[in-house]
Amino acid sequence: MTEIFADERLLGFCIFCGGKPDTRDHVPPKVFLDKPYPDNLLIVGSCDRCNGGSSLDEQFVACLLEVVMCGTVEPGALRRPNIARTLTRSPALAAQLEQGLQPGGGFLVSELGGQRLARVLEKIGRGLWAYQTQEPTGTLAARVGWNAWSTLSDAQRQEFITVRDEVFPELGSRMFIRLLEEGPNRWTVVQEGRFAYLVEVQEGGGRIKLIIGDYLAGEVDLVGGTDG
Ligand SMILES: [Zn+2]
């Protein structure tokens, strides 16, 4: 059944504004994954104007998560070779991240860091939603939240991973076919330990849940504004 859509994996429009795409982005960005990369990584289009500089944000967030997980910015003590290389090349970034490390093991995300994290999560959410709906997402407002998995209670974890569609998707839509194929428990693990996501159908939009690096639980609500 998915064969129908096989040649549509590369979207022909900017996932934000619907305009002509200048670049094609992997969802999730490769910086969140380790080599060897999984086959069939999702690719979406975006224009230069909408995309503006997102890869720097993505690199920042990937480094942030690794530093938080490892409790250090020392390249030799990090688990992910890509991140170790990046921090070796960018002492300024390493110094910036080091400031967030708390004595005794926590990490404090700065306001700016939080904004960058929110932008990254939003873009991934929009990419996944555009892929499901085959439409640009620019008319939808985004609400982004995130937590460290370790800070969630069992009940919150249960709530987070439970699939809750509010409305049933249109017959024949990608979302509908996915429901048929994957059933109600349809988290997609892009790469074990690195990235998993779930797309839920909500009234007038969608909710995208992300687990990154077995550490960060992110949620992106895309909500219609004037749709009536
Ligand atoms: Zn655009």
pLDDT tens-digit map of 133-178: 888 999 999 999 999 999 999 999 999 999 988 888 788 887 788 7
CA atoms of 102 and 89, how far apart (whole Å): 24
Whether the predicted pLDDT of 2 surpasses 50: no
Mean pLDDT computed over 71-83: 96
Q: How far is the CA of 228 from the centre of ligand 1 (A)?
A: 24
- Answer with the residue of higher pLDDT: 53 or 98: 98
Give the CA-trace dihedral at 143, 146, 151, 155, to 10 degrees. Answer: 50
**Which residue do the tokens 């939603």 mark?**
129
Structural tokens at position 155: 């009940």
In the chain, alpha helices (H): 48-51, 54-70, 81-89, 91-98, 111-133, 154-161, 174-182
Q: What is the pLDDT of residues 94-127, one digit of tens each?
A: 999 999 999 888 888 999 999 999 999 999 999 9
Q: How far is the CA of 26 from the centre of ligand 1 (A)?
A: 16
Q: What's the mean per-residue pLDDT of the chain?
A: 90
Mean pLDDT computed over 21-44: 93
CA atoms of 93 and 91, how far apart (whole Å): 5
Q: How far is the CA of 136 from the centre of ligand 1 (A)?
A: 9
Q: How far is the CA of 18 from the centre of ligand 1 (A)?
A: 6
Q: Provide the 3-class DSSP secondary structure of residue 224.
A: strand
Indicate the helix (H) or strand (E) that contains 7: none
Contact 169, 175 (CB under 8 A): yes
Amino acid at 69: M
Q: How far is the CA of 1 from the centre of ligand 1 (A)?
A: 30
CA atoms of 13 and 47, how far apart (whole Å): 8
Which of 60, 57, 134, 121 has the alpha carbon at shortest distance from 90? 60
pLDDT value of position 4: 39
Structural tokens at position 80: 């992910």
Q: How far is the CA of 15 from the centre of ligand 1 (A)?
A: 7
Which of 209, 213, 211, 212 has the alpha carbon at shortest distance from 221? 209
